[in-house]
């Protein structure tokens, strides 16, 4: 789990996963087409641009999903009960929640991304707090918070691919490009989750 992004817009994995990823310590390479940069000014306002014309801009770091074996769909049912409970509470297909967990952490509750996202659904620390998650490494709390956030993204966009892109890259990027942003990582992530979703469709008895 980049709002502007709960990855940093005011209502928005991230009223700052984008901002949080930057604060997590990304190095600032030369600008590349398609990259997004941000900084926080003295008034606490977050600024975004794809043309970093101010020395304060730093590149937004996408949360890298847990490495996947080429062509392999993770097979694990140990969290199915927890997934089903939270999916029902948030009116989500449980196979979709399971697919996000598989893509984010491969069911490793101790996973930590290079940007600092944590646990099964890879919540950024500040986002976890906003979602009421005290310990993101506890599966019960992490799945509760991550499922709630996924529901928010689906309500916001009304489109599964766009919601998944926002979960990975943040709503700011989805809003800017009016759809799935042209980041290879995000596009691969959306395809992977949808593939896993179809694979897990029969795991929950429907």
Residue in 64, 27, 91, 68 with CA at minimum distance from that of residue 199: 68
93 & 55 share domain: no
Q: Which range of residues forms the domain containing residue 22?
A: 17-59
Which residue of the set 42, 104, 134, 152 is catalytic? 104
Positive/negative CA dihedral, 133, 1, 107, 76: positive
90 & 42 share domain: no
- Taking each continuous run of H as one helix and of E as one strand, the counts in the chain are 8, 3
Q: Give me the tens of pLDDT residue by residue for the chain, a chain 206 residues long.
A: 543 333 333 333 333 333 333 333 333 333 444 456 667 777 766 666 667 788 887 765 555 555 545 568 999 999 999 999 999 999 999 999 999 999 999 999 999 998 899 999 999 998 899 999 999 999 999 999 999 999 999 999 999 999 999 999 999 999 999 999 999 999 999 999 999 999 999 899 75
> Is 104 annotated in the active site?
yes
150 & 188 share domain: yes
Beta strands across the sheet bearing 46-49: 46-49, 37-40, 58-59
Considering the domain boundaries, does residue 137 fall inside one?
yes
Number of domains in the chain: 2
By CB neighbour count within 10 A (0-12 exposed, 13-18 middle, 19+ buried), where does 27 fall?
A: exposed
């Amino acid at each position: 789990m980049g709002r502007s992004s709960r990855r940093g817009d005011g209502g928005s994995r991230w009223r700052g996963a984008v901002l949080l990823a930057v604060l997590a310590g990304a190095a600032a390479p030369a600008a590349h087409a398609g990259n997004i940069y941000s900084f926080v000014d003295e008034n606490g306002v977050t600024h975004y641009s794809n043309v970093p014309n101010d020395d304060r801009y730093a590149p937004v770091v996408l949360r890298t999903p847990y490495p996947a074996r080429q062509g392999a769909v993770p097979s694990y049912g140990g969290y199915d009960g927890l997934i089903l409970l939270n999916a029902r509470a948030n009116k989500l297909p449980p196979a979709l929640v399971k697919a996000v967990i598989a893509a984010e952490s491969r069911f490793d509750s101790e996973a930590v991304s290079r940007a600092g996202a944590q646990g099964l659904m890879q919540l950024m620390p500040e986002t976890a707090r906003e979602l009421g998650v005290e310990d993101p490494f506890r599966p019960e709390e992490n799945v509760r918070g991550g499922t709630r956030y996924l529901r928010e993204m689906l309500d916001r966009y009304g489109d599964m691919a766009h919601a998944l892109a926002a979960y990975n890259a943040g709503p700011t990027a989805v809003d800017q490009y009016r759809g799935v942003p042209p980041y290879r990582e995000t596009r691969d992530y959306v395809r992977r989750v949808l593939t896993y979703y179809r694979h897990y469709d029969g795991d929950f008895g429907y």
